[in-house]
Structure formats: C-alpha cells, structure tokens
Structure 1
Amino acid sequence: MNDLNALFRKRIGIKEGEKLTFEGLDDILERIAKTIPFENLAIISSNINDINKDNIINKVLVRNEGGVCYELNAALYFFLADNDFEVTLFRGVIYNQGWTTIGRTHVAILLDHEGQTYLVDTGFGGNLPLKPVPLNGETVISPNGEFRIKKENTEHGNYILELKLKYKDPDWKIGYAFDSTNPVGNVAELNEVQTIISEDPQSPFNKHRLITRLTNRGNITLTETSFTQWVDGKVTREEIDGKRFNELMKQHFDK
C-alpha cells in the first residue's frame, strides 16, 4: 500500500487492509467531513505550493492540515483512484445570490459505477452531500440535508447541483454548475484555480481566515471575528478576538 493510501486511511480512521466499496463511500465521506477541515489558512499566510500529488499528500496527510476544494477533492481523487474507483476531476462555477464572477474555481469529482455517474464532493465547506449524488436527478438524503443534480444547460455547463441543507434551507437552492464533458485533464490545471482563489480581488477566500468542519451533531465554523456552532439544529454564535481565535483553533481543530 502506497504512502497516500496508508496516510489517508490513518487520517480518517479506516483499516489499512479494508477493501473500499461503493456502498462504503457514505462512511468515508462523513469521516473526511468530520476530520479534515475546509480552511484557507495557507492562502491567508501566503504559504501555498504547486498543486501536485506529492504536495497534496504533504499538506493534507503529512502535516494534517485541511484545505479548500481543489486540495481536499484532489486528495480524495488520488485516494479513490488508488482504490480502483473510476474517477475524474471537474471544475464548476459557484452560485451565491448569482453566479460568481471568478469563473470555474470549484473543483469536485465525478465517479462512474455500474453504468451510472455520480458527483462526489468533500470540498464544499458546510454544504457537503456526504454521499455520492447521481447525475440522473435522484434526490439523496444525508445527515447534512437533501441533494440532487438537475440536467440543465447553462453558460457554465450541463448540470447543476441543488441542495437543501438540514435545519437551514426551507427550499432548494443552487450550489454550483458544472460541465460533465470537460474534465480536468491533469491535476496541474488546478494551479490556475489556486492562482485565482489566492490572488483575485473577487475571491472570497483570500481576505480573512476561515476554518470549518462537520461534527456528529452539526458543524462548527471559526472566523477571525466569530465562532458559530450548529448543534441538533440550534445555532450559537460567539463574537471573538485574536486570542480567542487561537484558543478555539487549538480546542476544536488541533492547531
């Protein structure tokens, strides 16, 4: 078993010799969401490196950091490929009260299994499906809410991920659009995404520190000014300063 495979299993707590199955992906995705945080700390500290397999392994699995979509989903992509899943990476355009202006900067995975294609995403902050979502329009329900993919041609692709987060969304909302016919040919292409996310003035991830992960009963989100916890549908928010930020980082994210 190679380093990435062994390290990934160790980080999320599954046995080295355990054979991965499609049916077991739900458990893997939940483990990742609760263990590996979505964070932009390296971007804020200008401590970024080229996107390649070795650097992804080092950041996420050796130094035990988190990352943003192109890091977390790249790590999962390599792990799934090493375990004989048919996977490709793709780039999508986020919708947040309108399509984002920085282009195809969301990175996620398409997985083929028994003639069906599924979206797999562990890099979408608190919006994670926690299950493979089929491209046939079927709704999947997970501890984080309901998710479905609508086939619809837009200027950004031929599919749209829609979601309804548990306790948070009364109605369906758009997550992002993507083009299933335009996969990422080489992981080096993600360096373009990294440049946009880390340098573009319109990027939401290059201004203030953010770190979030799911928990057994909801999720936690830490920024430089607040700490927000969702527990069984109830939300609490604490206004914080720099000292408290560091305390909470150590307490909840082992940093």
Structure 2
Amino acid sequence: MTILNSLFRKRIGFPEHEALSFDKLDDVLEKTAKEIPFENICVLNNTAIEPSKENLTNKILEKYEGGLCYELNPLLYYFLIENNWDASLIRGIIYDGSRQRWNPTGKTHVAILIQNSGQTYLVDTGFGGNLPLIPVPLNEGIVTSSNGQFRVRRVSTEYGDYVFEMKLKHKDKDWRTGYAFDSRQSVADQGELAKIQQIIMEHEASAFNKGPLLTRLTDTGNITLTESSLTEWKDGKVQKLPVTHRDFNKLVQEHFGININ
C-alpha cells in the first residue's frame, strides 16, 4: 500500500485493508467531507504551493490541513487511482445564482469522473457545503444523500456537455445549477492545476482571495467560518454567531483542526 493510500485512509477513518468497492464510495465521500475541510487559508496567506501529488499529500494528509477544489479532488483522484479505479479529473465553471451568470473566473472548478459497470459518475469532494456525498450518474437520475438531492443533466453549453444540479436539504426548494463541465476533456497534468490555482489566487472575481472561508460537513449538518461569523446548521436549524478577529484563529483550530498561528 502506498503512503498516500495509507495516510488518506487514516485521515478519514477508513479501514486500512478494506477494499474500495463502489458500495463503499458513499462512506468514503461522507467521511472525507466531515474530516477534510474546504478552506482557503493558504490562498490568503500567499503560501500556496504547486498542487502536485507529493505536496497535496504533505499539506492535507500529513499536516492535516484542508484545501480548495483543485487540491481536494486531485487528492481524492490519486486515492481512487491507487485503489484501481478508472478515474479522470475534469474542469467545470461555477454558476453564480445570485447574479444569474457563469463565474468570470472560467473553468476553475475541478471534479472527478469515474467509470463503474459501464456507467459514468460524477464525484466531488471540493464544492464546499454543496457536496453530493455520493457518486452522481451522468444519466439525469436523481440520487439522494444526507445533504440533499443531486443530478447531472446532459445540457449543451459553451463550457461543456453536462450540468450538475442540486437541491440541498433544508436549504433549497427548487433545483439550482451548481456548475457546467465537459465530460470529454480531462485535466492534462498538474501544470493545468497550477494554472487554476493561479487564477483563484489572482483573479479579481475570485471568491477565495477576498477573505477566509472554511466549511465542512458534520453529523447533523455543516459548519462555516468566515472572518465575521460562525454559521452552524444542525438538523435543519441554523445558528449564526459573530466572530471577532481575536477569536478567529482559535475557532479555526477548534472546529477545523488547523493551526494558523
């Protein structure tokens, strides 16, 4: 067993010698969402390094930090590959529902496609609080997890041939678009990931170079921390508390296990 494979299993609490069958992917995705936070601390501190396999292993599995989509999903991709899965990384563009437009940063969302029994599935552990927690088939079928309902529809856009849609539990009454992607075009190499990282760090429209954002799923909902508030969903009820600059680092450590002192 490789170091990455062993450390990934240890980080999320998945048995070291258990085979990673399709039926086990739901468990892996849920554990990953709860244990590895979606966060942008390195982007804000300008300490981000090239998202290579070795660097991601060190950052997320050895230092117990989190990351953004171009870090979290490539790490999961490497884990799947090392467990004999037919997987590929793809790029998507996020849809900004509040402005009714595609994100000006372009195709900077990274996700995964896997093959199983002749069917293609979308897998994503890098979409903040919008995670499906389950493989989503590219056949417009609706899947349901503890985080809501999800589907992938074949829709032709200038950005690809499919659209990922969601209806989050306790939050969405209607379906809304998450992102569009092209199933026919895979991420070529880590250099392409590095270019995505550069856009996220430098683009004026990037949501991740403005202020801190940390979020992860919990057993009862999810928790999100910004520089001004701590928001926690528990069984459909939300509590939002103000955060002071003095308390921020302590809350990062307490709720996300990251030491940024």
TM range (shorter): over 0.9
Q: Which residue of 2 aligns with 1:222?
A: 225
Output the CA distance in 1 between the equivalents of 2:82 and 2:102.
34
Q: Which residue of 2 aligns with 1:106?
A: 109
Gaps of at least 5 residues in structure 2 are none
1:15 positional shift: 1.7
Q: Which among 140, 145, 154 is matched to residue 151 of structure 1?
A: 154
Q: Which residue of 2 aligns with 1:17?
A: 17
Q: TM-score, normalised by structure 1?
A: 0.99
Q: TM-score, normalised by structure 2?
A: 0.96
Partner of 1:95: helix, strand, or coil?
A: strand
1:10 positional shift: 0.5
Alignment of 1:86-165 (within 5 A): 86-97=86-97, 98-165=101-168
Gaps of at least 5 residues in structure 1 are none
How many residues are paired up? 255
C-alpha distance after superposition, 1:50-93 (max 9, x if no partner):
12111111111111100000000000000000000000000000
Output the CA distance in 1 between the equivalents of 2:257 and 2:56.
19
Q: Which residue of 2 aligns with 1:40?
A: 40
Q: Give the ranges of 4+ consecutive aligned residues of structure 1 lying more than 2 Å apart after TM superposition.
A: none
Asked whether the 8 Å contact 2:4–2:79 carries over to 1, the reply is yes
Q: Which residue of 2 aligns with 1:52?
A: 52
The more displaced of 76-85 and 238-247 is 238-247
Aligned-pair identity in percent equals 54
Partner of 1:79: helix, strand, or coil?
A: helix
Q: Which among 216, 236, 243 is matched to residue 233 of structure 1?
A: 236
Output the CA distance in 1 between the equivalents of 2:250 and 2:194.
33
Letter in 2 for 1:14: F
Aligned CA-pair RMSD = 0.7
